[in-house]
Amino acid sequence: MKKIVIVLAGMVFLFGGSYFILSELDRNETHITENVRKQEQNQKNIIKLVMAVPYSDVPDKDMEQMEREVNAITRNKIGVEVSFVRADHYRNTITLMLAGEEQLDIMMASGNMFIETYINEKLVALDELLEQYGQGIMEEAGEMAIKACSINGKIYGVPNNRDYAAGTNAFMLRKDLLDKYDIDPADIKNLEQLEEVFAFIKEKEPDISVLVSGGGTMISNLYFTSLMMGSFRPGVHMDYGRDEKIVNLFDTEEYFEALKRVRRWYLQGYLDEDMLGQTESLFARVRKGEIFAYTTKWKPGIESQDTNAAGYEMVCVQLGETAVSFNTYAAMPYVITKNTVSEKKSMELLNLMYTDPDIMNLMSYGVEGVHYKKTEDGHFTYVDEEKRNPFINNAWKVPNQFITGVWEGNPLTLWENMRKFNEEAIQSCEIGFNFDISPVMTEYFALSDIYSKYKNILENGLVNPEEGLETMLAEMYTSGLSDVLAEERRQFAYWKARTDQ
């Protein structure tokens, strides 16, 4: 009898233990299944957004690496994944995406794109979105800069934090050639003295181009061309934006004198004879030793930045004043388009980008250990001796450069210096004014086409300015230049009266 009891007890223990083990396995399996289910549900809840930033010369594999790391942050923090648009022709690609109602949630609207997308009713007003989901942007960018992105009383963009001011009439020179001929750049105080240096280098180094454009035309570094910010705008405020009277840029003495000077440089052989046929990039040519100087605009860190890109130590000579001479805050704003799948999530993503240094470092410099590394003192630098980083020349395009790391060769106070640079510059009287071209749109685009036809030959010294400028102006007045100027003056007067209240 005792044996039977013992056997039964053993059976109970055996099967009871098995039951216990099976129950635990069931519970663990249920727990694992629940976790998988939650992960799948979380994945379903991820909002996928599309963002356009005009990156140039960044290979797809590097963009993909950067994008993966950005998404690892955005998924965790706000439940968003972002896909960056890859486009060789940024403007054309964006125009087609918007016209075809393809998803495009956020984009940088550079140049005329801001006004044009507004006119085409493709922009989302951001006032309420900023109040609810954009507090970080408001703190980082500041009220004045954000309001500067208003059109007809509503905010349609947020400025990317960067160098708004520009040190005008500036030229970047190769230091090795200055040293070779014992030329002190500090002794160059005006254009006449600079021209003497050009003549000397032309004589001593006949096989190189003395001067080329660092971007735009040969006079794009002058303050009055900055008033147009690379797009067509005939009505400008002279004296670095301090003169409240709107005048026709192309009728000013300053513009005419600049054209004559560049024409003289061309005839004296300082410029490339076939400049419009040149396809190689500026820095590629400098690295080959083909160029002595190029036009630029000064800002803190520009010499270190260009030295890294050029392969030669570069020195900047600035002959003009430093100014925010246009409504520069609205020159390249980030906007949310009507093609977005979520206005709320788009603003949350922008807000995160303006406030998260890790995302901004990724967008500015790529992936740590792959595209850059940190030095012992906290600078960012190249990972290898080749000194290549595909992102660095695009860093100024990101939403908030002021929270990124500082590249080696610059003081660690670079971004504090840049803020001070912006604040202490001459401030244009039209900061906050955006010319709505819709009332004169037909005339405006006709004039823009005329300017595009003449700009490169006039502003690069390829034609006699007396004849070329007269011909261009005659065509412009025939095509409605007076009407466009009158409309701009009317809008500015109305805006000024309202803001002065």
CATH code, 437? 3.40.190.10
In a domain, residue 293? The reply is yes
User: For 280, how many CA atoms within 13 A lie in the half-sphere containing its CB?
Assistant: 11
In a domain, residue 10? The reply is no
Q: Are residues 290 and 428 in the same domain?
A: yes
The reported pTM is 0.82
Q: Are 388 and 309 in contact (CB under 8 A)?
A: no
Residue with tokens 């690295």: 287
User: pLDDT tens string for the chain (501 positions)?
Assistant: 444 444 434 444 444 454 444 455 555 555 555 554 444 445 568 999 999 999 999 999 999 999 999 999 999 999 999 999 998 899 999 999 999 889 999 999 987 899 999 999 999 999 999 999 999 999 999 999 999 999 999 999 999 999 999 999 999 999 999 999 999 999 999 999 999 999 999 999 999 999 999 988 999 888 776 655 446 789 999 999 899 999 999 999 999 999 999 999 999 999 998 888 888 989 999 999 999 999 999 999 999 889 988 999 999 999 999 999 878 899 899 999 999 999 999 999 999 999 999 999 999 999 999 999 999 999 999 998 888 899 998 999 999 999 999 999 899 999 999 999 999 999 999 899 988 999 999 999 999 999 999 999 999 999 999 999 999 999 999 999 999 999 999 999 999 998 887
In a domain, residue 372? The reply is yes
Q: Are residues 349 and 479 in the same domain?
A: no
State the Cα–Cα distance between residues 485 and 489, nearest whole angstrom: 6
Type and span of the H or E element at 236: strand 235-237
Q: Are residues 218 and 243 in the same domain?
A: yes
Q: Are residues 75 and 155 in the same domain?
A: yes
Q: Are residues 58 and 148 in the same domain?
A: yes
In a domain, residue 30? The reply is no
Distances (CA, A) of 164 to 297, 326, 376, 378, 410: 11, 9, 31, 26, 19
In a domain, residue 356? The reply is yes
What total number of domains does the chain contain? 2
In a domain, residue 3? The reply is no
Query: What distance lies between CA 442 and its chain's CA centroid?
Result: 29
Q: Are residues 304 and 188 in the same domain?
A: yes
Q: Are residues 299 and 353 in the same domain?
A: no
Of the residues 360, 377, 403, the one at which a domain ends? 403
The phi and psi torsions of 407 (rounded to 5 degrees) equal -70, 145
Q: Are residues 149 and 174 in the same domain?
A: no
State the Cα–Cα distance between residues 359 and 297, nearest whole angstrom: 28
In a domain, residue 25? The reply is no
Q: Which two tokens stand for residue 203?
A: 């004589």
Of the residues 403, 420, 452, the one at which a domain ends? 403
Q: Are residues 178 and 261 in the same domain?
A: yes
Q: Are residues 217 and 151 in the same domain?
A: no
Residue-range definition of the domain harbouring residue 427: 162-329+410-501
Q: Are residues 451 and 480 in the same domain?
A: yes
Of the residues 365, 381, 403, the one at which a domain ends? 403
Distances (CA, A) of 310 to 214, 280, 357, 385, 479: 12, 13, 28, 15, 43
The phi and psi torsions of 329 (rounded to 5 degrees) equal -60, -30
Q: Are residues 134 and 280 in the same domain?
A: no
Helix ranges (H only) for 79-189 are 90-99, 113-119, 127-133, 135-141, 143-147, 175-180
Distances (CA, A) of 441 to 327, 487, 489, 497: 20, 11, 15, 24
In a domain, residue 7? The reply is no
